[in-house]
Structure 1
C-alpha cells in the first residue's frame, strides 16, 4: 500500500494533479495515482448510490432541479430503502455534469463563431452602451 504525504497547497507545482485534504494541504498525485483516481470516480458502480441532495452538490444545482433531471430520465435512479427513496449513481451524476459542461462550451463556441461571421465582434460596445445612459 502506498503512503501519501500531505503538503501545503502553495508548494504544489503549477499544472500538477493533487487531492486536497481540506486543511490547506494537498496530496500530489503521479500519473498512475491520477489514473487510478479517475478510474475510481468514473467506475459506474450502481452500489455507489447517492441522494438527490448529494447529486445537487456535485451538479451545483438545487435538489428540486436534480429531481426534475432525474424524473425526465436524464439520470437513471433506483428506489432504495423501506421508504423507496430515489437514489442515483454517483458516476452517472459526474458523467451528466461533464456532458452538460461540454454542451455549454460547444454552444458558447458556436455563438462566438456566429457572432464573428455576422460581424458582431466589430461592434463598438461603449458606443452602444452610451445610448442607455
Structure 2
C-alpha cells in the first residue's frame, strides 16, 4: 500500500496530477496512482456523484433548499471543476431522504397516539366526508 504525504498545494507544479483537501494540502499522484484513482471513480457505482439539481429531484425540493442543506452540513459534498460546482453522493442523498421519511412517519404515529389518548379520534369519518360529497 502506498503512503501518501501531503504538501502545500502551492508546491504542485503546473500539469501535475494530485488530490487536494479543503485545508490547502495536496497529495501528488504518479501515473499509476492516477490511473487507479480514475478506475475507482469510474467503476464504483456506490460513490456515484450527482449535481445539486439531481439531488433536489430525488428529495422533492428546490436546488436552493439542497444548497442550504449542504451549507448546514446535513449532506456531505465535494466541489468539482473550475467553477467549484458542488456534487453529492447519490447514495447519501437517498439515505438522507429515507431517514427524513422515516422521521416523518414516526412523528405522524406519535400524533395519532396523542389524538387517541386525548379522545380526538372519535370522529365519524363517513358523516364528515358525506358533507363534502
Q: TM-score range by the shorter chain?
A: 0.5 to 0.7
Q: Which moved more, 1:98-107 or 1:118-127?
A: 118-127
Q: RMSD of the alignment, in Å?
A: 1.9
Q: Deviations over 1:83-130 (max 9, x none)?
A: 111111110000000000000000000000000000000146768xx9
Q: Which moved more, 1:59-68 or 1:118-127?
A: 118-127
Q: Which residue of 2 aligns with 1:69?
A: 69
Point out 4+ residue stretches in structure 1 off by more than 3 angstroms.
123-127
Q: Which residue of 1 aligns with 2:53?
A: 53
Aligned residues: 85
Alignment of 1:33-52 (within 5 A): 43=46, 45=47, 48-52=48-52
User: What is the TM-score with the length of structure 2 in the denominator?
Assistant: 0.58
Alignment of 1:1-133 (within 5 A): 43=46, 45=47, 48-123=48-123
User: What is the TM-score with the length of structure 1 in the denominator?
Assistant: 0.58
Structure 2: 5+ residue runs without aligned partners? 1-43
**Higher Rg of the two aligned structures:** 2
